[in-house]
Structure 1
C-alpha cells in the first residue's frame, strides 16, 4: 500500500516539475522574442544623421552640443545630484556595451542601478522615444568615438 502512495506522490512531483520547466522555457522564449533591438549602427550614415537630430532635440540641453557634458561633471558634493557626463571620448560612456547604454537610456540610470540610489537627473526615455530612435541616438554618439574606443566597448567584458 505504501509503495502505491509513494509512487503517486513521486508522479505528482514529476508532473509539477515538468509543468514548471515547460513554463520557464516558454517564458524565456517569449522574453527573448519581445526584447527590443538594441543594435547600434555607428557606420550607417542615415541612422547617425537621424540620431544626431534626435540628440539635438532630447539630449543636448544636458550633455552639450559637442557631447562635452556639464561643467565639473565629476565633482559632486554630498546631497548634490550628478551632473550630465560627457558622451564623447573624454567620458566613460564608451566603456559600456551597447545593451547597457540602451537600457540606461530607455529605462533611466535608476532602473539599471536597481537600487534607486543613483542621484541623477537622467530621465527614462521609454514612452518618449521609440526603441529605434534610442538606438539611432546612441549610434550617433558612438559614431563620434575614436575607433579604438568603439572597439574597446565592443570587446568589453561587460555582459551584453
Structure 2
C-alpha cells in the first residue's frame, strides 16, 4: 500500500516539529551549519514574507522547508528530510511545492546556499533548474568546521 503524503503550511505553533526535523536532517555538520532551535523557527514563521512547509507521510512529519519572499525574489532558507525517510523523493516534492508557491506569488528568481560538501542537495537543486551563481567562503561554521557554500539560483519566469 502506498504511503499517504501531504504537505501542510507551517505556523509558529509548528516550531517544535520543524526544529526537531531540522536537527535530524542536519546532524552531520558537513551538510550545513548548526540546527536551528524552536524559538528560531517560531520567529521565522511569525515574520511576514517567510513561509514554511512540513511534508507528512502517513500522518508523521518527515521533511520541512522554509522560504523567504521579498518582492519578486525568493530564497530557500532550509530544506531537509529525516534520515529515516530519505530516498522517497520528499526533498524534491517539497522543493517543487515551494517553487510553485513562490511562482504563484510573483517571484521571478530564487536563490539558495548549499554546502559544497552536500553533493546530494546540489544534484537535487540542479534537477529543478538551479545553477551555480557564486560561492561564499567559510559560510557554514559548525563544530570547528568552516565549509564553503555554493550560491545557486533559478528563474521562475
Give the strand-richer structure, 1 or 2. Answer: 2
TM over 0.5: no
Q: Which has the larger radius of gyration?
A: 1
Give the helix-richer structure, 1 or 2. Answer: 1
Task: Please report the TM-score for the alignment, with normalisation by the length of structure 1.
Answer: 0.29
Task: Please report the TM-score for the alignment, with normalisation by the length of structure 2.
Answer: 0.30
